[in-house]
Amino acid sequence: MCSLKFAVLQVGSVIALVKVTYDLACQIRLRGVDGACRDIVSTDWWNEKALRRLTQNREAARKRRLRKKARRLLKQLLYIGVVVGTVVGALAIAIPWLCPGVFTADAGIISQMRATTLPFLVSMISCPPSLSLEGTLLAGRDFGFLSFSMTVCFIGGTALLLACKVLNWGLAGSWWTLAAFQWARFLLAALRLYSPSSCLADKDSDTTLRAKTA
C-alpha cells in the first residue's frame, strides 16, 4: 500500500514537473517571437530612415551639381555678353567718326553724335551681361528682388534725368544717365547672384546633409 502511494506521488511529481517545463518553454518561445518581431520592426525602421537619408543626400547632391552647372553657364554667358556688347558698341560708335554722312550731313548733329559715343559704348558693354543676370534671376523665380532692383534703377534714373535738365547737361547727360541705369542693373543683379542668398548658392540644408553623411 505504501509503495502504491509512493508511486502515485512520483507520477504526480513527474506530471507537475512536465507541466512546469512546458509552461516555461512556451513563455521562452513567446518571448523569443516578441523579441524577433521587435527586431524586425526596429530593423525596418532603421532601413527606412537610412533610405530616406540616402534619398535626401542624393537629391542635395543633384541640386549642387545643377547649381554648379548653372554658375558655369552664367560665367560663360557673362564673358560672351561683354564681348558682344563691346564689339557692337565699337561698331556703332565708329559710324559717327568714320562715316558720319550715312545718317546726316548736318555738322551740329554729327558733333552731338560724337559727343555721345563714349556713354553709348559704356552702356552697351553692360547691357548683354545684365540680360544674362536678370534671366538667371527670372529662372530662379527671384521676382521680389527683380521688382526691387528695377524700382531702384527707375527712381535713380529719373532723378538723374531731372538733374540733367536742371544742370543743363544736354544730350550727353541723358546718355550718361542711360549708362548709369544699365550699370546699376548689372551691379545689382551680379551682387544678388553672387550673394549667399542667391538661387545659385549652396543652401545650408545641403551643407548639413553633407556633414551628416561625412
- DSSP for 110-131 reads HHHHHHTHHHHHHHHHHHHHHH
Tell me how far apart the alpha carbons of residues 146 and 199 are, in angstroms, rounded to a whole number: 13
How many domains are contained in the chain? 1
Structural domain contains residue 172: yes
Q: Would you say residue 62 lies in a domain? A: yes
Give the pLDDT confidence score for residue 23 in this predicted structure.
Answer: 53
Is 5 part of a structural domain of the chain? no
The alpha carbon of 86 is separated from its chain's Cα centroid by a whole number of angstroms, namely 30
Q: Which of 24-28, 98-102, 186-190, 198-202 has the lowest mean pLDDT?
A: 24-28
What number is the average pLDDT over the span 6-15?
47
What values do phi and psi take at 141, rounded to 5?
A: 60, 40
Q: How many Å apart are CA 102 and CA 13, to the nearest integer?
A: 127
| In-domain check, residue 25 | no
Whether pTM exceeds 0.75: no
Among 141, 156, 154, 150, residue whose Cα is nearest residue 189? 150
- pLDDT band for 7, please (50, 70, 90 cuts): very low
Using one digit for the tens of pLDDT, what is the confidence trace for 70-92? 888 888 989 999 999 999 999 98
The domain of 197 spans: 50-213
